[in-house]
Chain A
Amino acid sequence: MTDLYIARGDRLAARTLASETVILRPDDSGLYVLNEIGTILWDAADGTTPLATIVEQVICPRFDVDAKTALHDAIEFVQGLRDHHILNVSDRPVTSHAAAAPPAETAS
């Protein structure tokens, strides 16, 4: 399977509140709240780490799920976020400035 790379959308406002991430699209005021796993993917979406690696190294150790199932679900999830312009999804590393920057600091 081709590696997928995910990167946070450049223009989005976002803040992680404990285990949830709140995201606002400035162009249309679209509001989204990511749950714990969504927040893990958002935090890891640096544009350079393959999605399969994120799943294998971050998600699988924390949740009782096999890598194949988790990757299948993660691909479906990130494609949904791509459709809402939350994540950029590519089959090659994404090198935008915002994607490379760490997510804004987390409040707990």
Chain B
Amino acid sequence: MSTLLDHVIDRAQALKLPISVQFDLTYRCNERCVHCYLDHDDHGELSTHEVEDVLDQLAAAGTLFLIFSGGELLLRTDFFELLEYARALRFDVKLKTNALLIREAEATRIRDLGVRQVQVSIYSHRAEIHDAITKVPGSLESLESPPSVSSRRRAFAC
């Protein structure tokens, strides 16, 4: 894949197209990671329509690889609406999330919408370390607790 991917990237660069874009949908987050470059405060965010308008522009500009990040994406109540919109525009979508709000139903919907990658940050297998970084007691356990992990694993498996 790398050779063909290199060709795509070279082609996009030659055409001066933004082939890959990270779109931070919100400042809000339900963790307080010590290393995060955001202050986690609510500075306001684009409306659903405004995000969709940007996505239209990105599709027209030639963006293929789209990373949805934040903040924590799933704090947006319109997250799945935006994801569905992005997939209808045939973006290749990757999500960066802490997964605290992803249970079986959300994982199934993410899979069914054709998201290619989901990146979840786990800072340690030791809860005291992970939780010290996220500043949210129980955050690792929340990811590991049944049925969430097993159901997420089943839902994401294609």
Contact = CB atoms under 8 A, between A and B. Distances in A.
- The range of chain B's interface size is 20 to 34
B153 interface: no
Interface residues of A, number: 24
Given A31-B5, A33-B4, A104-B59, A17 B17 contact: yes
A10 B60 CA distance: 19
Given A17-B17, A26-B114, A31-B1, A105 B8 contact: no
B105 interface: no
Contacts of B62: 15, 17, 107
Contact of A13 (B12, B56, B92): B92
A24 B4 contact: no
Interface of B: 1, 4-5, 7-8, 11-12, 15, 17, 19, 56, 59-64, 87-93, 114-116, 158
Given A22-B8, A31-B1, A32-B4, 20 more contacts: A13-B92, A14-B64, A15-B19, A15-B59, A15-B63, A15-B90, A17-B12, A17-B15, A17-B62, A20-B11, A24-B64, A24-B92, A26-B115, A28-B158, A33-B4, A101-B88, A103-B90, A107-B15, A107-B17, A107-B61
30 contacts: A11-B114, A12-B90, A13-B64, A13-B87, A13-B93, A13-B116, A15-B59, A15-B62, A15-B90, A17-B15, A17-B19, A22-B64, A24-B92, A26-B93, A27-B114, A29-B1, A31-B1, A31-B5, A32-B4, A33-B4, A33-B8, A101-B88, A104-B59, A104-B89, A105-B59, A105-B60, A107-B15, A107-B17, A107-B62, A108-B15
